[in-house]
């Protein structure tokens, strides 16, 4: 197979033209022959730039304007003192940035840009600088496979390309002397240290220092992934090459030097320039019985050792959620998480040397390690799903000449291959999954698992570039070298349907700089939720697929990349979006020299036009401004308010009755109707879409499908203790006798008791929820309020209350000159109250004005004084109406949460029955008008 290239893709031509447009007015010149006196007298054919800085700036601004990019006011340069053959000098060079989403042909664009600049202006010396060996191999491979295409496109120009090899310094001499196009590919590590051969004088060059020859050629640097070359050392090393200028190519620039072209990930996705992304999320469901722990970090702070851990904590609402805790020696995870499952996990020792924590139960956890994550079960299901989907997709795509590749990312090589060369857990699980799946697929019957997989775990290389594999002791060196060549160098063979290898295993070596157009699946097999950037993960497979003729295939139905992740699809897509937004926000803050929150409206409009509307967070509404609500003393002393207060100020106490047999019977009956599912692993598919705001959103495609049960994997806890702990810790706290809890368990139906054995923690959670619900209903149904000899004093009103400006509403009819609101509903209600003539006075009741309930303290919203008016809006002689109002988004209590509804029921009994004060649930002030109309036909209470 020979890969074919389309020379007329508009987005690539725009990027090439943007770079060429920087030098409009530059005459086309042959390479400038320079003679340099160093250790000896040598010549070099150098790039030459004749344009002045003002001319270059004008060109830059014209290019940016044509691309819809806010023009920069200055040319951005890097300047550094360097040593040359002729002595010390200041190297100063211009920098221009091209932003192209991964998978859209960035490497092709910059190679072709080099040839285009030579065609127009005669620039001939180029150095492609890359941050890693993997990227270097990818660049060199692209140079090889595009050579015939580009020679035909540009009339067979004289150009050479090669990877810098310190054992072959004649390349450097050729680079300096040649009058043709020279493209040398170098890793940053090959010249960023004083000990590098390129920076040492050598007899092989008649005593010259190789880097001096490079400097004399005044190369144009092409920086691939420059965000990885931004340390002080890296910048100084780049300057040491004394470049004419630098063209910077990346999807994720950290420092936006004079951006000349931008193809955002959203635009590439929207235009179909990359594959569509689907996420198959494999997660544990209802599996909280086993204590989970992950040690994030061990540190020394203020002479105290601390450990940052992630654990599953019980919340007041009764759910179990992942939370982060900072622990010191002696701290108890059981106390921190409020879960009995963490008994014995008291921090016994934090060891900074070994970066580990030892607990009182003698378990030791190293930094980055986990406990209780069911890795093997998750890995097994992720691998099985990936293999099955791979075989299914290959059967679908084979008639169209498309080879399917699946890429597995793992974070520990030992999980694939042990030090002694024996298969690790992941390889064993893959072998089992493949052998089981192939029985249903005739095309795969004759292949063994070892035939269809290859792995690349690079360790390091010699100075000459030879591979030294980390597992060379295993005796598999030759096989691993063959796998390296297939994965990194022989892209065409890997894409062939004749090549059996279709599953690739790797770790961080392939996370950047390598991709393959026919990667249709990426499976992340990590000991913890993947911390690799999602853009790096999906970037390995977003390029559009290629058929057996080497032609790019554009059908959307074929170009779908599925990521099999060990996290929820919502989290995956949110992290993908947040990474992009974070990278752009960093870039924007550097460009504008200020935090995002300080941008003006005009600057925000510019940014949204350039980057997309979804990149910036919503503009804060006076988020930093404070406001003060001041008490109107004249209102406080008015007869209307005194009468209102005299009616509502009284405190009450309540009495309740509990029918224990009915409570047990109700809970048991409801439990037997509940579906208590076993702990399990589920897989859910979702599609990634670009929403109306120009951001990535997840669209669920399937219901969660159970692929494995985890029932019976965990020891049974003391169920009564677990239920008691839940009852006492969750809101509101409740205490019931052990006898009551045991009676509920004993009276459950056999099917419910089996569900309890399968998932005791989920049973306890459901039982406690039902217990609290039926208990609360009994309490509220039978509650009786009695007025007591105590009340709220008017002196409790504060003269001034300071709060955030965004939370206040100015009001003329309120006891305070500003009303402090807690929600948009309250804000709208206060604004509407202030405009109604029949509202005599109102107050948003203060935080200390509460009503006791079995569900906790209840704070009503409003106290209002209304007057009756006639058809002309004039006050009538009818008495004023004094009432208390609760505002919600609905007046139908069935639509509220049970707790909200029950507190409102308590409010009715407190105000209406104990205090004889009207109490109403309202959504808008229109409900008040209806109350006035009703009160006109009935006696006032």
Provide the 3-class DSSP secondary structure of residue 518.
coil
Secondary element (H or E) of residue 842: strand 839-844
CA distance 241 to 234: 11
DSSP 208-267: --HHHHHHHT-PEEEEESGGGS-SHHHHHHHHTT--SEEEEEESS-SS--SEEEEE-HHH
What does the mean pLDDT of the chain come to? Answer: 89
CA distance 384 to 438: 11
**Residue 460: CA atoms inside 13 Å, Cβ hemisphere, count?**
3
CA distance 513 to 102: 9
DSSP 761-829: HHHHHHHHHHHHHHHHHHHHHT-EEEEEEEE--GGGS-SEEEEEGGGEEE-SSBSBSEEE-SSHHHHHH
Q: Residue 525 in contact with residue 413, Cβ under 8 Å? A: no
Structure confidence by residue, pLDDT tens digits, 765-809: 999 999 999 999 999 998 999 999 999 999 999 999 999 888 899
Q: Which residues pair with residue 344 across a beta bridge?
A: none
Residue 460 is predicted with a pLDDT of: 36
Residue 665 pLDDT > 60: yes
CA distance 220 to 216: 12
Q: Residue 267 in contact with residue 242, Cβ under 8 Å? A: no
Structure confidence by residue, pLDDT tens digits, 235-251: 999 999 999 999 999 98
Q: Residue 356 in contact with residue 365, Cβ under 8 Å? A: yes
Provide the 3-class DSSP secondary structure of residue 378.
helix
Residue 226 pLDDT > 70: yes
Q: Residue 133 in contact with residue 187, Cβ under 8 Å? A: yes
Kindly report whether the global pTM for this prediction surpasses the value 0.85.
Answer: no
| C-alpha to C-alpha distances, 905 to 659, 770, 779, 782, 899, nearest whole angstrom | 20, 19, 11, 11, 10
CA distance 797 to 627: 17
Structure confidence by residue, pLDDT tens digits, 544-558: 999 999 999 999 999
Q: What is the 3-state secondary structure (H, E, C) of 499-512?
A: CCCCEEEECHHHCC
Q: DSSP class of residue 861? A: -
- Alpha-carbon 276 to chain mean position: 18
Q: DSSP class of residue 47? A: -
Least confident of 422-426, 624-628, 819-823: 624-628
Secondary element (H or E) of residue 921: strand 919-922
DSSP 399-428: GGTB--EEEEEES-GGGTB-TTS-B-HHHH
**Residue 659: CA atoms inside 13 Å, Cβ hemisphere, count?**
12
CA distance 734 to 725: 10
Q: How confident is the model at residue 464 (pLDDT cuts 50, 70, 90)?
A: very low
Residue whose structure tokens are 């039902």: 770
Extract the tokens encoding 561: 């990349």
Secondary element (H or E) of residue 113: helix 106-121
Provide the 3-class DSSP secondary structure of residue 937.
coil
Provide the 3-class DSSP secondary structure of residue 365.
strand
Q: How confident is the model at residue 473 (pLDDT cuts 50, 70, 90)?
A: very low
- CA angle, corner 321, sides to 320 and 322, nearest 5? 135
User: How many other β-carbons are positioned within 10 Å of the β-carbon of residue 895?
Assistant: 11
Whether omega for the bond prior to residue 826 falls within 30 degrees of 0, making it cis, is: no
Q: If we measure between CA atoms, which residue out of 106, 108, 115, 104 comes closest to residue 151? A: 115
Structure confidence by residue, pLDDT tens digits, 303-349: 789 999 999 999 888 888 889 999 999 999 999 999 998 999 999 99
| C-alpha to C-alpha distances, 744 to 528, 660, 661, 760, nearest whole angstrom | 38, 11, 10, 14
CA distance 870 to 578: 58
Residue 105 pLDDT > 50: yes
Q: How confident is the model at residue 512 (pLDDT cuts 50, 70, 90)?
A: low
Provide the 3-class DSSP secondary structure of residue 469.
strand
Strands 347-351 and 356-359: antiparallel
Q: If we measure between CA atoms, which residue out of 112, 425, 446 comes closest to residue 249? A: 112
* Residues ≥6 apart with Cβ < 8 Å to 145: 2, 3, 491, 492
């Amino acid at each position: 197979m020979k890969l074919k290239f389309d020379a007329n893709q508009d987005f690539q031509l725009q990027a090439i033209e943007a770079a060429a447009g920087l030098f409009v007015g530059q005459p086309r010149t042959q390479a400038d022959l320079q003679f340099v006196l160093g250790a000896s007298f040598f010549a070099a054919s150098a790039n030459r730039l004749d344009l002045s800085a003002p001319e270059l700036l004008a060109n830059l601004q014209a290019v940016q304007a044509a691309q819809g990019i806010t023009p920069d006011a200055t040319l951005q340069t890097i300047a550094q003192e360097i040593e040359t053959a002729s002595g010390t000098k200041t190297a100063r060079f211009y920098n221009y940035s091209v932003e192209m989403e991964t998978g859209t042909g960035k490497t092709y664009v910059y190679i072709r840009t080099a040839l285009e600049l030579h065609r127009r202006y005669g620039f001939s010396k180029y150095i492609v600088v890359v941050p890693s060996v993997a990227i270097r191999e990818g660049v060199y491979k692209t140079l090889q496979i595009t050579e015939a295409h580009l020679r035909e496109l540009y009339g067979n120009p004289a150009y050479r390309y090669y990877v810098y090899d310190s054992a072959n310094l004649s390349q450097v001499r050729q680079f300096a002397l040649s009058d043709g196009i020279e493209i040398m590919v170098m890793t940053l590590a090959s010249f960023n240290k004083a000990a590098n051969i390129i920076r040492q004088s050598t007899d092989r060059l008649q005593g010259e220092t190789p880097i001096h020859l490079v400097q004399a050629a005044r190369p144009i640097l092409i920086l691939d992934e420059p965000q990885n070359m931004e340390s002080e050392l890296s910048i100084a090393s780049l300057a040491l090459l004394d470049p004419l200028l630098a063209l910077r190519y990346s999807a994720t620039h950290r420092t936006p030097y004079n951006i000349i072209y931008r193809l955002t990930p959203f635009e590439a996705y929207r235009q179909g320039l990359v594959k569509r992304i689907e996420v198959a999320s494999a997660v544990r469901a209802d599996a909280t019985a086993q204590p989970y722990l992950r040690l994030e970090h061990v540190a020394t702070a203020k002479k105290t050792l601390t450990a940052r851990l992630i654990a599953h904590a019980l919340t007041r609402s009764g759910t179990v959620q992942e939370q982060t805790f900072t622990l010191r020696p002696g701290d108890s995870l059981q106390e921190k998480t409020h879960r009995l499952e963490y008994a014995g996990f008291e921090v016994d020792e934090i060891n900074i040397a070994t970066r580990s924590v030892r607990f009182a139960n003698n378990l030791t956890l190293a930094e980055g390690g986990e406990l209780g994550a069911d890795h093997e079960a998750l890995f097994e299901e992720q691998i099985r799903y990936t293999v099955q989907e791979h075989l299914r997709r290959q059967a679908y795509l084979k008639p169209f000449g498309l080879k399917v590749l699946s890429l597995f990312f793992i974070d520990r090589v030992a999980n694939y291959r042990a030090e002694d060369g024996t298969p690790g857990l992941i390889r064993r699980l893959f072998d089992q999954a493949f052998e089981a799946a192939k029985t249903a697929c005739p095309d795969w019957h004759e292949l063994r698992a070892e035939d269809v997989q290859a792995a690349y775990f690079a360790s390091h290389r010699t100075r000459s570039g030879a591979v030294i594999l980390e597992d060379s002791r295993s005796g598999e060196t030759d096989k691993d070298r063959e796998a390296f060549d297939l994965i990194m160098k022989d892209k065409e063979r890997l894409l062939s349907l004749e090549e059996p290898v279709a599953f690739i295993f790797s770790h961080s070596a392939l996370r950047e700089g390598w991709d393959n157009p026919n990667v249709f699946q990426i499976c992340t097999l990590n000991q913890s939720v993947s911390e690799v950037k999602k853009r790096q993960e999906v970037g390995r497979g977003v390029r559009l697929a290629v058929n057996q003729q080497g032609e790019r295939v554009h059908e959307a139905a074929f170009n779908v990349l599925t990521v099999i992740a060990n996290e929820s699809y919502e989290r995956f897509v949110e992290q993908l979006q947040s990474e992009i937004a974070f990278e752009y926000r960093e870039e924007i803050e550097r460009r504008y020299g200020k935090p995002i929150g300080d941008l003006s409206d005009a600057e925000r409009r510019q940014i949204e036009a350039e980057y997309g509307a979804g990149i910036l967070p919503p503009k804060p509404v006076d988020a930093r401004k404070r406001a003060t609500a001041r008490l109107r003393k004249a209102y406080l002393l008015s007869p209307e308010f005194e009468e209102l207060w005299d009616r509502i100020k009284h405190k009450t106490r309540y009495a309740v009755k509990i029918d224990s047999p009915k409570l047990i019977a109700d809970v048991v009956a409801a439990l037997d109707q509940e579906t208590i599912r076993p702990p399990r692993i589920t897989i859910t598919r979702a599609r990634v879409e670009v929403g109306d705001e120009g951001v990535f959103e997840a669209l669920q495609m399937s219901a969660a499908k159970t692929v494995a049960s985890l029932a019976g994997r965990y020891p049974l806890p003391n169920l009564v203790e677990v239920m008691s702990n839940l009852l006492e810790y969750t809101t509101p706290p409740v205490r019931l006798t052990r006898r009551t809890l045991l009676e509920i368990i004993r009276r459950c139906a056999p099917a419910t008791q089996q569900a309890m054995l399968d998932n005791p923690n989920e049973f306890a959670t459901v039982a406690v929820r039902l217990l609290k619900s039926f208990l609360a209903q009994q309490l509220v149904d039978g509650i009786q309020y009695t007025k007591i000899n105590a009340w709220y004093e008017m002196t409790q009103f504060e003269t001034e209350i300071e709060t955030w400006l965004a939370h206040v509403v100015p009001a003329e009819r309120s006891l305070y000159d500003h009303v402090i609101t807690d929600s948009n509903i309250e804000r709208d209600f206060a604004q509407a109250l202030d405009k109604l003539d029949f509202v005599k006075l109102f107050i948003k009741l203060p935080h200390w004005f509460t009503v006791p309930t079995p569900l906790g303290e209840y704070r009503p919203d409003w106290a209002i004084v209304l007057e009756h008016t006639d058809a002309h809006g004039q006050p009538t002689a009818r008495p004023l109406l004094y009432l208390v109002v609760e505002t919600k988004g609905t007046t139908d209590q069935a639509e509220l949460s049970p707790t909200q509804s029950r507190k409102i029921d308590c409010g009715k009994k407190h105000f209406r029955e104990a205090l004889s004060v009207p109490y109403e649930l309202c959504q808008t002030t229109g409900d008040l008008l209806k109350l006035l109309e009703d009160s006109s036909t009935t006696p006032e209470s």
